Amino acid sequence: MSAVLNLNRGNQHRQYTPTLAEHWDDLVGWEARLEREGHFYARLLKAHGCRKVVDVATGTGVNAVGLAQAGFEVTATDGSENMLAKAQENAAAYGVSFADSRVADWLTLDETLGTEQFDAIVCLGNSFTHLFDHEDRRQALRAFHRVLRPSGMLVIDQRNYDTMLDHGYRSKHEICYTGDGVDVGPVELTPRLAKFEYRFPNGAVFQLNMYPLRQDYLTHLLEDAGFINAERFGDLQRPYDRREVDFVQQVAFKT
Ligand code: SAM
């Protein structure tokens, strides 16, 4: 299998076809990733007294499952039915269940989830960079804000696009997408588009279009949507070297 799925920019969760959903777990490197990231997010959420958490970019469930295993009440949402179906399979395989699981677009998350309010929202694994339009980002963050209880926490994790744009791509492959034998990297990188290619050991090749969100711009968007006290971690640590880290985690709170 070597057909490249070359995908459009509109409605980015449509990029996650059933075939890509099937391959995603090989890219994620579940065990290593849960071992490294799971504890970080669980500690962060516990430190802020969070219990009810929505993973709004559940994908095939690596973080949603990890948080459920750590005792959180997890609502799993994603814009892609294909990815969410795989997440439910994975949750069952790991012996956990989600408090709720819904197909939900970020732009209308509050409409899908109704009036229930949550202690925290996580949007991990370089997901928020799937939005290409400034107004869509503002709308999504305002929807996230409405879903949180007062003082609720939002966590967004994404690639360090600043370094990629300013100094070129390189990766330690230690955080996030660490699957064995999967070759990941940008095939196109401009200030408006990061087209990533994923080459799997079985010959399958996929491409995903992302928007290279800079760190300061994301902080500005968070503040614009009403979040305060934004803090950053780099590769799950603080302080961090802005140029050296592969992934950046931003944490902010509802006013
Ligand atoms: N967090 C998972 C992980 O780390 O493995 C999945 C990450 S994957 C890069 C991005 C996920 O975001 C996909 O499952 C995709 O369907 C979802 N997504 C992209 N745009 C979305 C949107 N507008 N609303 C809801 N989900 C969206």
Picking from 206, 186, 205, the residue whose alpha carbon sits closest to that of residue 196 is: 186
Percent of the chain with pLDDT over 70: 93
Q: Is the pLDDT of residue 9 over 50?
A: no
- What is the residue type of 157? D
Question: Picking from 20-34, 39-53, 148-162, which range would have the lowest pLDDT averaged per residue?
Answer: 20-34
Strands 52-55 and 118-123, how do they pair? parallel
For ligand 1, whether the C-beta of 130 sits within 6 Å is yes
For ligand 1, whether the C-beta of 127 sits within 6 Å is yes
Please choose from 78, 102, 103 the residue to mutate so as to test ligand 1's pocket, defined by most ligand atoms within 8 A of CB: 78
For ligand 1, whether the C-beta of 105 sits within 6 Å is yes
Question: Picking from 19-28, 72-81, 187-196, which range would have the lowest pLDDT averaged per residue?
Answer: 19-28
For ligand 1, whether the C-beta of 106 sits within 6 Å is yes
SS3 content of the chain, % helix, strand, coil (to 5): 40, 30, 35
Please give the pLDDT value at position 35: 83
Q: Is the pLDDT of residue 129 over 60?
A: yes
For ligand 1, whether the C-beta of 124 sits within 6 Å is yes
Q: Among the atoms of ligand 1, which is closest to the Cα of residue 24?
A: 5
- Name the residue with the closest Cα to ligand 1, atom 10: 127
Please give the pLDDT value at position 67: 96
- pTM (predicted TM-score): 0.93
pLDDT tens per residue across span 180-231 = 788 888 999 999 999 999 888 889 899 999 999 999 999 999 999 999 999 9
Q: What is the ipTM of this complex?
A: 0.99
- CA trace torsion 56, 216, 32, 181 (10° rounding): 100
pLDDT tens per residue across span 99-119 = 999 999 999 999 999 999 999
- CA trace torsion 40, 142, 9, 14 (10° rounding): 70
Q: Is the pLDDT of residue 165 over 70?
A: yes
CA 43 to chain centre: 18
- Name the residue with the closest Cα to ligand 1, atom 25: 79
